[in-house]
Amino acid sequence: MDGEALRARVVDQYSQFVNPGLARLMGFAGFGVEVEAQGCWVTDQDGRRYLDCLGGFGVFSLGHRHPQVVEAVKVQIDRMPLSCKTFFNPLQAELAERLAGVAPEGLQFTFFSNSGAEAVEAALKMAKAATRRTKIVSAVGGYHGKTLGSLSVTGREKYQLPFEPLLPGVVHVPYGDTEAGVAAVDETTACVIIEPVQGEGGIHVPPDGYLRALRQRCDQTGALLILDEVQTGLGRTGRMFGSEWEGVSPDLMTLAKCLGGGVAPIGATMGSAAVWERVFGENPLLHTSTFGGNQLACAAGIAALDVIEREGLVKRSLEVGGLLLDGLQGVADRSDLVTEARGRGLMIGVELALDEVGELVTAQMLKRGVIVAYTLNNPRVIRFEPPLIISETEIDVALESFEEAVAETASLLAAYS
Ligand SMILES: Cc1ncc(COP(=O)(O)O)c(C=O)c1O
């Protein structure tokens, strides 16, 4: 089947069997069919290559198909891919120990699941069980997933309204507003759940001291601090964990996305010994998952941690992220269409002057062979989250494409105004 026929067939299958609205949306945006990928590059049905500056929304920190992760998973497939859930699983044990070795101080235990939302569900349940309280504080514009519990703390009405009533007792406060955050936490609060840098909300970096103030208020009131590091974790922000920017240790921390090395899906909820005792002390089966901690995912996770360490990806994220941010800020300085570039490490957002422009700029970049997207809760912000292995040359390709796309969009707007 040639490329065009393949695309037509897949779009038709999406229309008939997956989601007709999504088929229209993706078709309109000009997306093709992903056929294969390697490193920072994705190939479509026509053999055209695209520089992946979105990185699967943070999944591909190691790039696509990192050879060491692929090899670890292949070896494990031939040995034992999934757990029979009765014997001890050595890979789960190993990954849990490895995570405890790199996590913020005090996070000793890990519960494994299969996605970010599941990791958040587990954290919320654990906070409630550990405190026997119900109030939860989270942020406006925050994104924690779309299962019922995680959706309750995700701060965007558009995705919540059809499912109401959601979890009772959730209070949303403006992100980065220390006073409002601290004031919302009291002796009835089970937990605060917050992203160290707000991702889908539009790549917002909180003011220095924000996480520390929340930590302190949680300590005063007996509430637990959950840091959702699903997107910020494992080097994305130029530190191993986003919390390290403020030297804060949470009571619970969630991970997913790049923990599987871009090869296997995995979620993880880490917690302190005190929390684990209160949650699992009486009933070690209080929260479980059939596939959570499976050998394939854990083999990928162990290999991913090895690669992050061996290739110095945390430091690289900080350095290369600085180059990208400077370049994007340069475009912002030269164009009225771009108001600001901001972020940490390789978690960068570019704010545009108008809501509708995000879609046009991303389409123009796609035309030029670079994949980016706007943030889910804020269409005015285009995010750049390329693999941490991205080279300086590839950064230049992305910057050139962005500048051209902005200029083209500006002339399109001028033509129609
Ligand atoms: C901070 C954060 N938490 C949770 C999630 C949900 O993860 P998943 O889509 O794997 O359920 C996401 C996904 O983007 C996220 O960015």
Quick: pLDDT tens for 231-262. Answer: 999 999 999 999 999 999 999 999 999 999 99
Q: Specify the residue with its C-alpha closest to ligand 1, atom 3.
A: 144
> Which residues does ligand 1 sit against, CB inside 6 Å?
57, 115-117, 120, 143-145, 195, 199-200, 228, 230-231, 256
Q: What does the pLDDT read at residue 187?
A: 98
Closest approach atom of ligand 1 to CA 257: 10
CATH 3.40.605.10 fits 67-310, yes or no: no
The pLDDT tens digits for 253-287 are 999 999 999 999 999 999 999 999 999 999 999 99
CB 240 within 8 A of CB 177: no
Q: Which DSSP helix (H) or strand (E) runs through 302?
A: helix 295-310
Tokens found for residue 113: 């699941």
Q: For residues 160 and 145, give the distance between their C-alpha atoms in angstroms, rounded to a whole number.
A: 11
* 400 CB-near residues (< 8 Å, 6+ apart): none
Helices (H), 104-205: 116-131, 148-153, 157-160, 178-184
Domain boundaries, the chain: 33-65+312-416, 67-310
CB count within 10 Å of CB 97 equals 12
Euclidean distance between CA atoms 347 and 197, whole angstroms: 9
Report how far ligand 1's centroid is from the alpha carbon of 410 (Å).
Answer: 33
Active site residues: 143, 228, 257
| Residue 377: pLDDT over 90 | no
Question: Cis peptide leading into 90, omega within 30 of 0?
Answer: no
Confidence class for position 26, pLDDT limits 50, 70, 90: confident
CA distance 55 to 234: 14
Cα 321 to its chain centre, rounded Å, is: 16
pLDDT tens digit sequence for 178-197: 999 999 999 999 999 999 99
| pLDDT confidence bin for 292, thresholds 50/70/90 | very high
CA of 335 to the centre of ligand 1 (A): 32
Q: In terms of CATH, what superfamily is 33-65+312-416?
A: Aspartate Aminotransferase, domain 1 (3.90.1150.10)
Lowest mean pLDDT, pick from 75-79, 342-346, 357-361, 369-373? 357-361
Pick from 59, 159, 227, 230 the residue to mutate for probing ligand 1's pocket: most ligand atoms within 8 Å of its CB. Answer: 230
Output the CA 143–ligand 1 centroid distance in Å. Answer: 7
Whole-number pLDDT of residue 38: 98
**CA–CA distance from 275 to each of 138, 253, 289 (Å)?**
20, 12, 19
Cα–Cα distance for residue pair 250/212, rounded to 1 Å: 10
What is the model's pLDDT at position 4?
93
At 298-349, the pLDDT tens digits run 999 999 999 999 999 999 999 999 999 999 999 999 999 999 999 999 999 9
Quote the tokens at residue 76.
């494990």
User: How far does the centroid of ligand 1 lie from the alpha carbon of residue 412, in Å?
Assistant: 34
Q: Which atom of ligand 1 is nearest to the CA of 146?
A: 11
Best probe residue, ligand 1, of 143, 147, 234, 378 (max atoms within 8 Å of C-beta) = 143
The answer, yes or no, to whether residue 120 has pLDDT greater than 90, is yes
Which of 113, 114, 144, 197 gets mutated to test ligand 1 (max ligand atoms within 8 A of its CB)?
Answer: 144
Do the domains at 33-65+312-416 and 67-310 have one common CATH topology? no
Confidence band of 355 (pLDDT split at 50, 70, 90): confident
For residues 134-143, give the mean pLDDT.
97
Q: Report the alpha-carbon distance of residue 326 to residue 308 in Å, rounded.
A: 24
Instruction: Give the whole-angstrom CA distance, residue 237 versus residue 322.
Output: 11
Per-residue pLDDT, 415 = 87
Task: Please check the confidence at residue 30 and state whether its pLDDT lies above 90.
Answer: no
Q: What is the pLDDT of residue 263?
A: 98
Cα 307 to middle of ligand 1, angstroms: 23
Mean pLDDT of the chain: 96
Give me the pLDDT at residue 2, please.
Answer: 94
